[in-house]
A = this chain, B = another copy of it.
Amino acid sequence: MENKLAELETRLAEIKDLESAAYVLHWDQNVYMPPGGAAARGRQIATLTRLGHEKMVAPDVGRLLDALQPYAESLPYDSDEAGLIRVARRLYEEKSRVPPQFTAEFYDHTAATLEVWKEARPVDDFAKVRPYLEKTLDLSRQYAGYFDYEHIADPLIGRPTQDPGMTVSIIRPLFAELRDQLVPLVQAITAKPPADDACLHQHFAEEEQWDFGIEVIKRVGYDLERGRQDKAPHPFTIEFSIGDVRITTRVDEHYLGSALFGTLHEAGHAMYEQGSRADFEGTPLAGGTSMGVHESQSRLWENLVGRSRGFWRHFYPKLQAVFPDQLANVTLDTFYRAINKVERSLLRVEADEVTYNLHVMLRFDFECQLLEGSLAVRDLPEAWRARMSADLGIAPPNDRDGVMQDIHWYTDYIGGMFQCYTLGNIMSAQFFDAALQAHPEIEGEMENGEFGTLHRWLIDNIYQHGHKFTAPELLEGVVGGPMRIAPYIHYLREKYGELYEL
């Protein structure tokens, strides 16, 4: 059995190398590649991806996995070997059930859709993308059909790169409960006088913003010996190995919040990837286990830590020293209120902590309804307006800032694309609570600019395990139970209750 396992590991390492190489090419494409490289680069990435796919679905891999299955079942569930075989099987199943012709057709279709969306959105022409979106929906249903499922969205949600272990039956009741709590909370907050965030909307020189961001993420624990930050129009985190996890950011010289919180957000993702056990390198066990758990970490560092009063007790005097002209006369309290301003807005990506989940849940519900057939693509714009009015009290005056605002459906499946953001928020509070319970000193440390205890706890309880456990398994191990919205709601009520005197 050891021989078979070693052979599986060799094959998986080769596949991982092809995937990591594709990531390097993708990173370069987004940060440094000259325009002339685009055509060949597309071809090169496609070749690496195709070769990795071919190697994953090779019949030998299937035979190895079958041969190893009884062995895996004889091992403790939490052993590395059982974990490796389990994760490898998940990857193999997903790739081998979906016919290559389907994948090729889907990629061609989404490439075309993306181009049409790029043209249609600025001129607010939903009719133009509608037939493409209808075909995307058909293809998304077809994808689901390659798997067994309880709800048609489950195979899309459970893709190995999305949220394995999560299903509509877990998510839907949680989201419904969360919505019931959030809608009145937003109403209560927005009935109060708005926070003044003028202090964030001044001129802040790019280089100083960049350097301050680097200081902050080094301090919280992002290891620059095993990572780096570069500029990119759309910030992202990317992992080439456990020793090389990079982030990108963008700087807006007229709004301080963009780079600052974007950098912290990506550093949160990156710290999760950097925290995998070193001996998982080159195996599919390395890396974050799901998009939801990933978001729990990016948002934990960005929001629960990075938008807290304690955090800024330490960092605000340093920020004032970097930008004395802009901030010397702005109190910590004013700044804290500014970075936590809540308002009704149309765009998900610009939404604050409280309203954000209402945007996400709208999309999740629509994804489910579209896949079920209870909502038609042609009725989406109207449904969008109705739901926005009900949840947020405003409706988009057009489709550009309504149904066409997010890129996701125009470049990937309908289904499984949005739940991770709110799952991440919910889990971030559960994890943070557990950390504080284990180490009440964390809050005091944060006020002194110390994050080692929190970071260590996250590594020990979450990061080190990589892909070994799914999100539900991880929660069970860490908080001793399933997902619950109570800690997140408690966090929001405490924080915003005080801020808005509710």
Contacts and interface: CB of A to CB of B under 8 A. Distances in A.
A22 B28 CA distance: 13
B228 A32 contact: yes
Interface stretch (A37-45, A147-155, A396-404): A37-45
Interface string A252-284: 000000000000000000000000000001100
A241 B40 CA distance: 6
A240 interface: yes
Contacts of A39: 241, 243, 281
Interface string A37-56: 11111011001100100000
B40 A21 contact: no
A104 to B, nearest CB: 15
A242 interface: yes
A81 interface: no
Contacts of A25: 21, 24
A18 B22 CA distance: 10
Contact of A226 (B37, B41, B47): B37
A34 interface: yes
A36 B282 contact: no
- Say which size band chain A's interface belongs to: 35 or more
Contacts of A246: 34
A224 interface: yes
A18 B40 contact: no
**Total identical chains:** 2
A34 B281 contact: no
Interface in A285-300: none
Nearest to A240: B37
A33 interface: yes
A233 interface: no
Contacts of A224: 34
A227 interface: yes
Given A28-B28, A243-B39, A20 B34 contact: no
A223 interface: yes
Residue among A22, A230, A240 with max Cβ neighbours from chain B (10 Å): A240
A17 B36 contact: no
Nearest to A230: B32
A34 B244 contact: yes
Nearest to A25: B24
A173 interface: no
> What 5 pairs across the A-B complex have the smallest Cβ distances?
A37-B244, A40-B241, A36-B226, A36-B243, A17-B47
19 contacts: A18-B47, A18-B48, A20-B44, A21-B44, A21-B47, A21-B48, A24-B28, A24-B44, A32-B32, A34-B224, A34-B225, A35-B225, A36-B227, A36-B241, A37-B241, A38-B243, A39-B241, A39-B243, A41-B240
Given A24-B44, A36-B226, 18 more contacts: A13-B43, A14-B51, A18-B48, A20-B40, A20-B44, A21-B21, A21-B48, A24-B28, A28-B28, A32-B32, A34-B225, A34-B227, A34-B244, A35-B226, A39-B243, A40-B240, A41-B241, A41-B244
